Amino acid sequence: MKIIEFVLLAVGALVGAFLRYIIVDSPKTIGGLPVNVLAVNVIGSFILGLFSVLALALNFDARYTLLVATGFCGSFTTMSSFALETSNLLDSNRFNLVILNILANVGLSLGAVLGGRVLGNTIMSRIL
């Protein structure tokens, strides 16, 4: 790995981790469902979906994938926190929320990636 690649990866990871910390720092729930990590995962998935289309269509240098996809989105989104929150819900026997949390994080994150890709394709169709 070249120094510029390391720097791009590190900057993306630093920004992603910092923004995640700000969003997740004060836990919020809706009806008992933890929504901070859900928001982070959905937003990050949307950004990744959008970036994947734009990077391909605009022929971005692969190093920008290190900055945005691997660095930023990799440190911004968080499977481990999602798993811990789900485990905590299991420990408290809140089985309906366990199922809702899994469906919301997976379903909305997948939907966000698809939405980001649709937006990226729309942008590219107007540019080209």
Using H for helix, E for strand and C for coil, what is the string for 86-104? HHHHHHCCCHHHHHHHHHH
For 30, the domain range is: 3-127
The domain total for the chain is: 1
Mean pLDDT (whole number) for 11-37: 96
- At 128, the pLDDT band (50, 70, 90 cuts) reads confident
Whether residue 78 is predicted with pLDDT greater than 90 in this model: the reply is: no
Whether residue 126 is predicted with pLDDT greater than 90 in this model: the reply is: yes
Whether residue 76 is predicted with pLDDT greater than 90 in this model: the reply is: yes
User: Could you tell me what percent of the chain has a pLDDT over 70?
Assistant: 100
Query: Cβ neighbours of residue 2 under 8 Å, at least 6 residues apart?
Result: none
Q: What is the largest CA-CA distance in the chain?
A: 53
pLDDT of residue 1: 83
Helix (H) / strand (E) element for 111: namely helix 95-127
Query: In sequence order, what DSSP letters do the residues of 60-80 get, joined into one string?
Result: --THHHIIIIIIIIHHHS-HH
- Say how far apart CA 47 and CA 28 lie, in whole Å: 22
- At 9, the pLDDT band (50, 70, 90 cuts) reads very high
Among 55, 77, 58, 79, which Cα is nearest to 66's? 55
Read off the pLDDT of residues 26-64 as tens digits, 9 standing for 90 and up: 999 999 999 999 999 999 999 999 999 999 999 999 999
